[in-house]
């Protein structure tokens, strides 16, 4: 019964194509049809994404700019313009809103839509997805890829199968076979390490996992065994959760050259705290949790959090929390990135406006 009910849902996953790069190509005609990448400078920079022309050379997200230039010497590097991407993201979200209110954004360029109750196009999800793609193109001059199925896992899998500007459907009677053919590396949520372990044990494709019972899946995946056991059978009960609420506010800096001296790190963290407070103050949130993120020069990532029982609503308390965490961190390796974020937010949580103004000359 449960799985029957699931098959009645209609989920669309939308993912903008080469998002940052496409916005740059749209806004600057001299970049069109050329291999471009959006990211940091040649020295120490990392790429956020690359145009499809650049991907032919093997250039991709998270690659160092230096390596990308070795693969594709004619690559044009463009610095990111986050405001432009946010603007497009807002426009696209407004388009989604015409079709359904059940929108779950995953990032600036990706979202799940539950169109089960959408009464446009005779409730045909493929036609709705087509209309959304057209609407996005008409309004933003950018292309998006859509995946259509009866749950989130399959909708996202479908959109990944045919990019860019694709529209792929996985029908209920195709799910088992499609998942069976999926290589372990391509399973959403299975990380590189787990995939390597599974492959070493002889599990290379979905079909190898589909043969296992729940207990075997739990011994392979631990707590996630239950989830993947059902995923392999094409069952994913996760609802599309409309996400109107901001979960965290953060700020981070990648340094031109690595920081080693504690005094430099201290100055940097103080500067970041003050800049973060400006953002918090603008948004008006109080918060309970403060997190510091550190990326070392070998790309090892470390996060450490502190949570207060009461909401923090003053910069002095934010600073105390930040330095409490900072004092517990070991800086054994050169640092290339520092970030701070606050979470467990409360709207309109800042009452101490006078204090805020005194702390900060605007
Ligand atoms: P993605 O949707 O993963 O990538 P994309 O839109 O560039 O390309 P695709 O056609 O394959 O969907 O990410 C969306 C944006 O998020 C991307 O344009 C830039 C940013 N991003 C990063 O900054 N760093 C990353 O490592 C990734 C993967 C994305
Ligand atoms: Mg994308």
Determine the residue of 48, 52, 162, 167 to mutate for testing ligand 1's pocket, defined as the one with the most ligand atoms within 8 A of the Cβ atom: 48
CA of 79 to the centre of ligand 1 (A): 14
| Torsion angle of C-alpha atoms 219, 173, 126, 209, degrees rounded to 10 | 20
Q: What is the pLDDT of residues 131-160, one digit of tens each?
A: 999 999 999 999 999 999 999 999 999 999
The stretch 297-322 carries a mean pLDDT of 93
Higher pLDDT, 287 or 353: 287
Residue 245 has pLDDT above 90, yes or no: no
| Torsion angle of C-alpha atoms 182, 14, 51, 295, degrees rounded to 10 | -80
Locus of tokens 């070991």 = 330
Please give the pLDDT value at position 194: 87
Nearest-CA residue for ligand 1 atom 5 is 18
Reported confidence tier of residue 247, pLDDT bands at 50, 70, 90: confident
Q: What is the pLDDT of residues 116-125, one digit of tens each?
A: 999 999 999 9
Q: What is the pLDDT of residues 73-86, one digit of tens each?
A: 999 999 999 899 99
Residues recognised as catalytic: 110
- Measured CA to CA, the distance from residue 205 to residue 74 in angstroms comes to 38
Residue 1 has pLDDT above 60, yes or no: no
Beta strands at 167-169 and 144-149: parallel, antiparallel or unpaired: parallel
- Measured CA to CA, the distance from residue 169 to residue 157 in angstroms comes to 9
Rounded CA Rg of the chain: 23
Please give the pLDDT value at position 72: 98
Residue 281 has pLDDT above 70, yes or no: yes
Pocket of ligand 1 (CB under 6 A): 15-20, 48-49, 61-62, 107, 109-110, 163-164
Nearest-CA residue for ligand 1 atom 7 is 18
Please give the pLDDT value at position 256: 85
Q: State the ligand closest to the CA atom of 61.
A: 1
* Helix, coil or strand: residue 352: coil
Higher pLDDT, 238 or 53: 53
Collect contacts of 258-266 with beta carbons under 8 A, ≥24 apart: 258/297, 258/334, 258/335, 258/336, 259/334, 259/335, 259/336, 259/338, 260/331, 260/334, 260/335, 262/331, 265/326, 265/331, 265/335, 265/338, 266/326
Range name among 34-38, 168-172, 195-199 with the lowest pLDDT average: 195-199
CA of 191 to the centre of ligand 1 (A): 17
Locus of tokens 């005779």 = 122
The stretch 91-119 carries a mean pLDDT of 94
User: Is 247 buried (19+), middle (13-18) or exposed (0-12) by CB count in 10 A?
Assistant: exposed
Q: What is the pLDDT of residues 325-360, one digit of tens each?
A: 999 998 889 999 999 999 998 877 775 443 333 333
Please give the pLDDT value at position 188: 83
Determine the residue of 109, 146, 167 to mutate for testing ligand 1's pocket, defined as the one with the most ligand atoms within 8 A of the Cβ atom: 109
Q: Where are the beta strands (DSSP E) in 234-322?
A: 248-259, 286-296, 301-312
Percent of the chain with pLDDT over 90: 75
Mean pLDDT over all residues of the chain? 91
The sign of the torsion formed by the CA atoms of 220, 222, 226, 230 equals negative
Nearest-CA residue for ligand 1 atom 23 is 48
pTM of the predicted model, to two decimals? Answer: 0.71
Locus of tokens 């995939």 = 195
- Measured CA to CA, the distance from residue 269 to residue 252 in angstroms comes to 10
CA of 195 to the centre of ligand 1 (A): 22
- Please confirm whether the linkage preceding 164 is cis (ω < 30° from 0): yes
Please give the pLDDT value at position 243: 67
């Amino acid at each position: 019964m449960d799985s029957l009910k699931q098959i009645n849902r209609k989920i669309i996953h939308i993912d903008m194509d080469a998002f940052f790069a496409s916005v740059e190509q749209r806004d600057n005609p001299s970049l069109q049809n050329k291999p471009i990448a959006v990211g940091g400078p040649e020295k120490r920079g990392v790429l956020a994404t690359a145009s499809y022309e650049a991907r032919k050379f093997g250039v991709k997200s998270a690659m160092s700019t230096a390596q990308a230039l070795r693969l594709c010497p004619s690559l044009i590097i463009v610095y990111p313009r986050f405001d432009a991407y946010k603007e497009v993201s807002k426009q696209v979200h407004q388009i989604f809103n015409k079709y359904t209110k059940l929108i779950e954004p995953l990032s600036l360029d990706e979202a799940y839509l539950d169109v089960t109750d959408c009464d446009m196009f005779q409730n045909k999800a493929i036609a709705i997805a087509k209309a959304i793609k057209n609407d996005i193109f008409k309004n933003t001059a950018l292309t998006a890829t859509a995946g259509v199925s009866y749950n989130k896992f399959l909708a996202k899998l479908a959109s990944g199968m045919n990019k860019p500007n694709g529209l792929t459907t996985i029908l209920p009677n195709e799910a088992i076979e499609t998942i069976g053919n999926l290589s372990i590396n391509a399973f959403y949520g299975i990380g590189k390490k787990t995939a390597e372990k599974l492959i070493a044990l002889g599990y290379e494709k979905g079909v190898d996992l589909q043969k296992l019972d729940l207990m075997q899946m739990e011994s392979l995946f631990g707590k996630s065994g239950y989830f993947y056991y059902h995923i392999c059978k094409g069952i994913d009960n996760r609802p599309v959760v409309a996400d109107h609420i901001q979960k965290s506010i953060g700020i981070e800096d990648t340094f031109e050259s690595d920081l080693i001296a504690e005094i430099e790190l201290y100055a940097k963290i103080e500067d970041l705290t003050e800049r973060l407070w400006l953002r918090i103050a603008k948004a008006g949130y109080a918060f309970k949790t403060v997190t510091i993120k550190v990326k070392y020069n070998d790309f090892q990532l470390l996060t450490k959090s502190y949570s207060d029982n009461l909401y923090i609503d003053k910069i002095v308390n934010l600073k105390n929390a930040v330095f409490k965490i900072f004092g517990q961190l070991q800086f054994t390796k050169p640092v290339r990135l520092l970030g701070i974020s606050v979470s467990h937010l409360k709207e309109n949580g800042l009452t101490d406006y006078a204090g805020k103004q005194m702390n900060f000359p605007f």
